[in-house]
Structure 1
Amino acid sequence: MRILVDADACPVKDEVYRVAQRHGVSVAIVSNQRLRVPPLPFVERIVVSDSFDAADDWIAEAAGPRAVVVTADILLADRALKNGAVVLSSNGKPFTTASIGGAIAVRAIMADLRAGGEQLGGPAPYSKQDRSRFLSALDDALVRLKRAG
């Protein structure tokens, strides 16, 4: 099992390390730039080129049925799901094959509105409840993968 983190803007890297250590799971921190990672034997830093979607491409290729992908990127979530991975957003909400189509559609609508000049607010501030929900969801996902063998 492995946790793959789309790390450039991920607010829960420390939480990933804690849960991964408790479960004995390796972590790949994937980014376009060199990020600080703790000197832990189960954490690997992957720095990809700065080309568009290079981190997403690396994660999508590495994702599979024994992986948990942590990302806020809906299109990456879709690619990882198609490869059989469990996919979680940083607020703990899972992306699933049942929900991803709707998420992609909303993303497209929002992009069209922004392109048309609409002033849209950004995401809600990250909260303690989001962090707690993420910790619980990641723990649950790893337990399910362990049970599945």
Structure 2
Amino acid sequence: MDASPQDLTIYVDADACPVKAEVYKVAERHRVKVFVVANSFLMIPPSPLIERVVVGGGFDAADDWIAARARRGAVVITADIPLAHRCVTAGADVIGPTGKPFTEASIGMALATRDLMEDLRAMGQVSGGPKPFSGKDRSAFLSALDLAVVRLKRAGFGATFP
């Protein structure tokens, strides 16, 4: 089931998402439809608001599915910078799992930093990945998602279920 253009909808790039439980909590509170998109089967809570989407195993299949539906009124949850760029360009609100929003003003720098770090890792100059996910990150994410949903509701985007 796809959302109509005026529905407020949340799309989760779920394969490595550490904040799915927080998304479900906000969705239930605001009665917003959530699509949990992954390359493999993931458990989701039993709720008419939460729908699992298992895409083919192709490279970027989940990203392509989400990007095709990204629009104004959608909130996309992802740590994937190229996907965030595609969704911001399409007009969606995009939030990383640490609560950091990706915006038109910030996405260019995020892409440049990602590319630089990728090059440095390839040259052996940098090893390791991002810092461990913390309770502070989880709290910041909850606040950012709630704020995005409230702002979109005020802008006239409706919750899926009354």
Q: TM-score range by the shorter chain?
A: over 0.9
Q: Does structure 1 conserve the Cα–Cα contact (< 8 Å) formed by 2:9 and 2:73?
A: yes
What is the TM-score when the length of structure 2 is the normalising length?
Answer: 0.90
C-alpha distance in 2 between matches for 1:119 and 1:64: 36
Aligned partner of 1:122 in structure 2 is 129
Deviation at 1:120, TM superposition (A): 2.0
Structure-2 separation of matches of 1:134 and 1:44: 21
Report the counterpart of residue 105 of structure 2 in structure 1: 98
1:53-77, Cα deviation, whole Å (9 max, x unpaired): 0000000001110100000000000
Bigger relative contact order, structure 1 or 2 (CA pairs below 8 A, ≥6 apart)? 2
Aligned counterpart, 2:33: 26
Residue in 1 aligned with 2:71?
A: 64
Structure with the higher fraction of residues in helix conformation: 1
**1:15 alignment partner, one of 14, 19, 22:** 22
Determine if the alignment matches structure 1 residue 40 to structure 2 residue 42.
Answer: no
Aligned to 1:83: 90
Instruction: Spell out structure 1 runs of 4+ moving beyond 4 A.
Output: none
Q: Deviations over 1:27-79 (max 9, x none)?
A: 00000001011111100000000100000000000111010000000000000
Aligned residue among 123, 134, 143 for 2:141: 134
How far the C-alpha of 1:118 sits from its partner, in A, is 2.4
State the AA in 2 paired with 1:53: D
**In structure 2, what residue type is equivalent to 1:97?**
E
TM-score scaled by length of structure 1: 0.98
What SS does the aligned partner of 2:34 have? strand
Q: Distance in 1 between matches of 2:107 and 2:136?
A: 23
Question: How far apart are the structure 1 equivalents of 2:29 and 2:51?
Answer: 17
Task: Indicate the RMSD between aligned Cα atoms, in angstroms.
Answer: 0.7
* Percent identical: 62
Matched to 1:84, the amino acid is G
TM-superposed deviation, 1:119: 3.6
SS in 1 for 2:52: strand
Deviations 1:62-113 (A, max 9, x none): 1110100000000000000011000000010100100000010011111111
2:4 corresponds to which residue? none
Q: How many Å separate the matches in 2 of 1:137 and 1:113?
A: 31
| 3-state SS, counterpart of residue 118 of structure 2 | helix
Runs (5+) with no aligned partner, structure 2? 1-7, 157-162
